[in-house]
Amino acid sequence: MPRAVVTGGAGFLGSHLSETLLARGWDVVAIDNLSTGSLGNVAHLRDDPRFTLLEHDIVQGIPLDGPLAGRVDAVLHFASPASPPAYLARGIETLEVGAIGTQHALELTRANEGARFLLASTSEVYGDPLVDPQTESYWGNVNPIGPRSVYDEAKRYAEAITMAYHRTHGLDTHIVRIFNTYGPRLAPGDGRVVSNFLTQAIRGEPLSVYGDGLQTRSFCYVDDEVRGLLALLDAPYHEPVNIGNPDEFTVLELAELVHEVTGTTTPIVHEAIPVDDPRQRRPDITLARELLGWAPTVDLVDGLERSYSAYLAAARG
């Protein structure tokens, strides 16, 4: 049975990834310090004997004994605060997990000859992009000293050190640049727009739109995202690959769809736009299509409906 280590395995993406790996016959060790992840995200996996949750901060190192004794076939490095409010409140911690945590995950891979490594990078490496859509060859437009740099620069550093381990040690590394992803278990009120809106709709609160709401986003349903990044893990390709949904919506359009899907009509309130909030972010997924034969299949209304059902069920307890 192949065995995977998922750092951040009790987070939104990490928990979906663990679930999919288990369904595909992997053993999974999830490592999480529960800083932004939660036990609730993996509650449904804890009875599976092939799933282990190790509550641990990978910045302190990754022990090669205990649950990690024995062969590891793949290391999927997803540990990091990922929503702006979460990383802005944990600036130094976010920098540390991007640099030191990534290096520890690379060293774990290196300790297992032939193991594969996947870095969860992000569209944030493109910053506030000057080209649209963004291809992987775009170098980005990131403010190195702005408040968001604790995340953006940490992820750019993580890409750089991943490539350095590939070049220096011949490690079988992969880098996925993840665009806006949503779905069940995206923490309510974590500050990302889909979870904000769904939570507000359920509570009967107004939908908060930052700025004029004309900034655009592309939203990828989590099942599509996980399928894409697992395809990348199998590919003989080491440079970054965008995995995201290129369908573009303004934040106001999303608000309307949330009204439609939830059958609510709470008003929209405009709030101050955060510093360095990108105007636009949309993946060019030509590379993923050609390299992996991957494309998203869940449209936004369908994905919002699935998410809304899950949020309702969770709200009911």
- The residues carrying an active-site annotation are 151
Q: How far apart are CA 62 and CA 127, in angstroms?
A: 30
- Stretch near its own copies under the rule CB under 8 A, chosen from 63-71, 74-82, 158-166, 299-307: 158-166
Phi-psi region of 16 (alpha: psi -120 to 50; beta: other; left: phi over 0): alpha
What residues between 237 and 276 interact with its own copies by CB under 8 A? 239-240
First-to-final CA distance of the chain: 35
CA distance 54 to 106: 18
Write the binding mask 118 to 147 for its own copies: x where contact by CB under 8 A, - elsewhere.
Answer: -------x-x-----------xxxxxxx-x
204 vs 236 by CB, closer to its own copies: 236
Q: What is the closest distance, in whole angstroms, from the C-beta atom of residue 136 to its own copies in the complex?
A: 9
What are the tokens at 172? 């079988």
Quick one: which segment of 167-175, 241-249, 264-272, 304-312 binds its own copies (CB under 8 A)?
167-175
How far is it, in rounded angstroms, from Cα 228 to Cα 128? Answer: 24
Strand, coil or helix: 122: strand
Among 82, 161, 207, 241, binds its own copies (CB under 8 A): 161
Beta strand extents in 78-219 (DSSP E only): 116-122, 172-178, 181-182, 207-210, 216-218
Which tokens in the block code for residue 279? 């105007």
Q: Which residue has the tokens 């986003």?
A: 217
Roughly what angle, to the nearest 10 degrees, separates helices 300-316 and 251-262?
60
Least Å from the CB of residue 146 to its own copies: 8
Site string for its own copies, 57-96 (x = CB under 8 A): ----------------------------------xx--xx
- Cβ proximity to its own copies: between 41 and 173 the closer is 173
Question: Would you tell me which residues interact with its own copies (CB under 8 A)?
Answer: 91-92, 95-96, 98-100, 103, 125, 127, 139-145, 147, 149-150, 152-154, 156-157, 159-161, 163-165, 167-168, 175, 239-240
